[in-house]
Structure 1
Amino acid sequence: MDLLPSLTGAFGDRAEAVRIGDRHASWADLAGAAGALAARIAGAPAVAVTATASLETVVTVLGGLAAGVPVVPVPPDSGPMERAHILGDAGALPLDSVDLDARAPLPPAPPADATGLILYTSGTTGAPKGVLLSRAAIAAGLDGLADAWDWTADDTLVHGLPLYHVHGLVLGVLGALRTGSRLVHTVRPRPELYAAAGGTLYFGVPTVWHRIAGDPASARALAPARLLVSGSAALPVPVFAALRELTGHEPVERYGMTETLITVAARADGERRPGAVGLPVSGVRTRLVGEDGAPAPHDGEAVGELQVRGDTLFSGYLNRADATAAAYTADGWFRTGDVATIGPDGWHRIVGRQSTDLIKSGGYRIGAGEVENALLAHPAVREAAVVGAPHADLGQEIVAYVVADGVEADELINFVASELSAHKRPRRVRFLAELPRNGMGKVQKQLL
């Protein structure tokens, strides 16, 4: 299947099709270098690339896809233990040297069900698992987003996200090459670099958007854009409001996982709601399941585990048939492990992870995200994370970790009680200089 039509001339050529920092390449350049690499690695079981923000990383990924050799992106900051596990588990040939000037024709396209990427999850327990993503799943995911976001060859996509995750690599590189849009990767996602890039479509994680909202001049420079997209974690409502005021744009949010790619998104031609991620993309179905296994009502209040099925789902975990089987229900739905609500109109709101963000306190089931948004509405609070801690009487008590200035714990507790139901107020508040986050800006609640 023709996964990346820009490389086979479907959109002609563009002298600066992909720019990463101060280096750029045309589609023909990328196709020629990828073809040469494909000939070099043909027959390898898998190829690993230290996924720096570079043209070398892009060509390695394209060469592997062209050759039908699964590509394993390795985080550049991975330690020796993590790197050894990924390379050993995938049986991947490390490939950190690429000749960008080499040229050869692309080979015939591999079959649609061939594994294109093996992305390793950063799970909270055990060693990372390799997620097998087929070419067909990648194509389905990108086509669903192109439909939702009116993403076309007329766009210029700008982002500065890592190239070893779904967001930065699949959406942020392969998405541009599938739709024919120009790509500008800023290497680092700094506000001033986004402001200078002149894009129509911008990708960022909440940390990036928070920093842009804190730099009014850079934020205002994004006003001519067509769409601002936030993902990988929930966008705090105050950041949504600040971007709306400064840029004139209401950000589009979306939801997905490594195993599912993007399954739910707000649409370019539709409403955007702070704290909500929208509707299932084309080719994807979702359902909400309560703790008793029965369907949870779509009333916007009842919480349940979000389960999905569709063409974007992964092929399984590498060498982990047991884990693959456990990830699915008996009737074939993927268990996301995320807690959500679905409204009567189908809009989805992600509460958080079932393991850390569903708090059972005094007989109530409380979503951590709702309490976090209430805390962030207080003018003194810059960051907030909420967890459930064991409690002899309540089962769990709500504990809030906040980054804030000039406010006492009791004031924040009372503020939440006044904004939400009283049983959703934190029982304890801990003040931190910063919240622990991973490379994609997600709060690492297991460290809290």
Structure 2
Amino acid sequence: MSPLSLDLSPDLFPALTEAQADPDGPGAHRPALRFGDRSLTYGELAATASPLAARVAEAGRIAVWATPTLETAVAVVAALLAGVPAVPLNPKSGESELGHIVSDSAPTLVLAAPGTQLPPALAALERLDIDTSAPTTSLPSPGAPDPESPALIVYTSGTTGPPKGAVIPRRAIATTLDALADAWQWTGDDILVHGLPLFHVHGLILGILGPLRRGGSVRHLGRFETAGVARELSEGATMLFGVPTMYHRIAETLPDDPALAKVLARARLLVSGSAALPVHDHERIAQATGRRVIERYGMTETLMNTSVRADGEPRAGTVGVPLPGVELRLTEEDGTTAVEAYDGETVGEIQVRGPNLFTEYLNRPEATAAAFTEDGWFRTGDMAVRDPDGYVRIVGRKATDLIKSGGYKIGAGEIENALLEHPGVREAAVTGEPDADLGERIVAWIVPADSQSPPTVDELADHVARRLAPHKRPRVVHHLDALPRNDMGKIMKRALTHD
């Protein structure tokens, strides 16, 4: 693993600064952003974003209506140039959630693409439309912000209450992107393609700001489709970012689309994140393309923590090793006793510490304090095991995926992967429910491959027992037409209820 040089200077985008300084230089003509048939070079991005930065420099805090468009990327870059915290808003959020976010973050204006209809929850905000069609002469950026100053306020999913605003400093963005550059051998020659939403860490920070920090380019699909992936990879894109739902669709398409298999085989890096990619989909993609998807692990509050490295073993079912600069430990249920085992079996909660972490939950000092241990480790709430070589395998969330059955601590994730290897299972989720004898019994929620002939509980129990261990077999099976998922493709287990 090569050492990481942490660049904590205020300049997040050296290539953009270079284009500002020399509008006629070769760097100014390099492609930066492309959304469909609309694109900006670094020179055009500088000439568009810097006047916008000057306009919002005194705004205090701004909201960005984060549609998957060129305007969103320009708005966020402008806010970062100005040193003004930006609050990306999910266009699919309901009125109540939007109202909470606007009230909590108190932006002074909202940036949006021209012609976009904004919901009533934003009516009280001053609106500023982003014009990317006629860049003006580049202006000097406002004074260089402190690396510790807030860059983004990204709201959590709010699964256990109202969404909390994670205040992400410039330092965290820079160090995470530089650590990923080290792990993935990411350079300005790379061209990234993705179709992720732009209101969260994966799509916005990794997918848009990542290429711009490297001086490379990004091609956004607008919305994900396998044909778009094939087109962009055939036209020179080198990297693909996606979530498991997207890679599942790719795996389903590959048998009938040899052209897609061919271009995926040529990609330098295929990266999945935001949720665990089932081993079954890993294997189907590897078999069809000869290339393996690598996974990384992060969250809103920590940005990225671990990844399979480009020069490491792309092992299915793991999220690799800690990124440079990131400390990671597993702890027992008391939250302080370290799990020392590297045996691939002993489960503990992941805690992390490093320059990639957020500063605080906005307006929530109690929640901020509760999120950290006394010695400064962030409690992720994710449960994992470590293999002998240090690879981390996440087995689920502490709140929903840790099942205590018959004296064992069992992670739902490994059972879900085993179930997905059964030919009669299309989708799977695993939860626990109270059991007088076992403490908790394992419950499987299955979308069968053939609804007319679903696998039985005994069949699935035997299947899991053979692959894992008898105590990990499901005792109850429910058949569903589909699993409830959020916008990122994560299964919403709290919505799984018994009839």
Relative to the length of structure 1, the TM-score reads 0.98
Find the residue that maps to 1:124 and give its secondary structure.
coil
CA drift at 1:6: 2.1
Check conservation: 2:351, 2:379, Cα contact below 8 A: yes
Instruction: Give 1:127's aligned residue.
Output: 162
- Structure 1 runs, 4 residues or longer, greater than 4 Å off: none
Q: Note if 1:379 corresponds to 2:423.
A: yes
For residue 18 of structure 2, what is the aligned residue in structure 1? Answer: 9
2:119 is aligned to none
Aligned to 1:196: 231
Which residue pairs with 2:459 in the alignment?
Answer: 411
After the TM superposition, which residues 141-180 of structure 1 pair with which residues of structure 2 at under 5 Å, given as runs?
141-180=176-215
Deviates more, 1:297-306 or 1:10-19: 10-19
Counterpart residue identity of residue 353, structure 2? R
- SS of match in other structure, 1:300: coil
Bigger drift between 293-302 and 268-277 goes to 293-302
Q: Does 1:94 align with 2:103?
A: no
One-letter identity of the residue aligned with 2:424? A
Aligned residues of 1:87 and 1:94 also touching (Cα < 8 A):
no
Structure 1 letter corresponding to 2:479: F
Residues 280-324 of structure 1 deviation map (CA, whole Å, 9 limit, x = unaligned): 111101001012432112222100000000110001100111111
Q: Contact (CA 8 Å) 1:45, 1:91: kept in 2 or not?
A: no
Indicate which of 311, 319, 328 corresponds to 2:372: 328
SS at match of 2:460: helix
Between the aligned partners of 2:201 and 2:288, the Cα distance in structure 1 is 28
Secondary structure class of the residue paired with 1:223:
helix
* SS across alignment from 2:28: coil
- Per the alignment, residue 61 of structure 1 pairs with 76
2:484 counterpart (410, 431, 436): 436
> d(CA) in 1 for partners of 2:252 and 2:297?
24
Which of 300, 320, 323 lines up with 1:278 in the alignment?
Answer: 320
User: Per-residue deviation at 1:102?
Assistant: 4.4
8 A Cα contact 2:32 2:45, kept in partner: no
Partner of 2:390: 346
Cα deviation code 1:137-162 (max 9, x no counterpart): 10000000000000001111010000
| Amino acid in structure 1 at the alignment position of 2:469 | S
Q: How many Å separate the matches in 2 of 1:327 and 1:162? A: 27
What are the superposed Cα offsets for residues 239-284 of structure 1, whole Å, 9 maximum, x if unpaired? 1011111222111100011000011000001101110010011110
Give distance in 1, aligned partners of 2:357 and 2:46.
27
User: CA RMSD, aligned part only?
Assistant: 1.3
Counterpart of 1:186? 221
Alignment partners' CA distance in 2, 1:26 and 1:251: 30
- The 2-side partners of 1:408 and 1:281 are apart by 41
The residue aligned with 2:171 is 136
Gaps of 5+ in 1: none
Aligned counterparts of 1:173 and 1:439: Cα–Cα separation in 2: 18
Determine the C-alpha separation between the residues in 2 that align with 1:421 and 1:16: 52
Select the residue among 311, 314, 317 that pairs with 1:269: 311
2:253 to 215, 222, 228: 215
Report the 3-state secondary structure (helix = DSSP H, G, I; strand = E; otherwise coil) of the residue aligned with 1:95: strand
Q: Does 1:310 align with 2:354?
A: yes
Match of 2:50 among 35, 38, 51: 35
1:52 aligned residue: 67
Deviation at 1:386, TM superposition (A): 0.3
Alignment correspondent of 1:246: 288
Instruction: Give the 3-state SS of the residue equivalent to 1:123 in structure 2.
Output: coil
Aligned pair 1:319/2:363, yes or no? yes
Q: Say if 2:31 and 2:216, in contact at 8 Å, map to a contact too.
A: no
Paired AA for residue 423 in structure 2 = P
Tell me the SS of whatever aligns to 1:215: helix
User: 1:113 offset after TM fit, Å?
Assistant: 1.0
Please state how far the C-alpha of 1:15 moved relative to its aligned partner: 5.0
The CA distance in 1 between the partners of 2:161 and 2:419, in whole Å, is: 32
Identify the residue that residue 422 of structure 1 maps to in structure 2. Answer: 470
Q: AA paired with 1:51?
A: A
| CA offsets 1:306-354 (integer angstroms, 9 cap, x no match) | 0000110001100111111000001110000000111221110011100
Instruction: Find the residue that maps to 2:351 and give its secondary structure.
Output: strand
Q: How many residues align structurally?
A: 448
Choose the corresponding residue for 1:294, options 337, 341, 348.
Answer: 337
Q: Distance in 2 between matches of 1:243 and 1:9?
A: 40
8 Å CA contact 2:44, 2:135 repeated in 1: no
CA contact (8 A) 2:443 2:475 kept: yes
Unaligned runs of 5+ in 2: 1-9, 20-25, 113-128
User: What is the deviation of 1:123?
Assistant: 2.6
C-alpha distance in structure 1 between counterparts of 2:261 and 2:226, whole Å: 7
Contact 2:424 2:455 in 1 (8 A): no
8 Å contact from structure 1 (residues 212, 219) kept in 2 = no
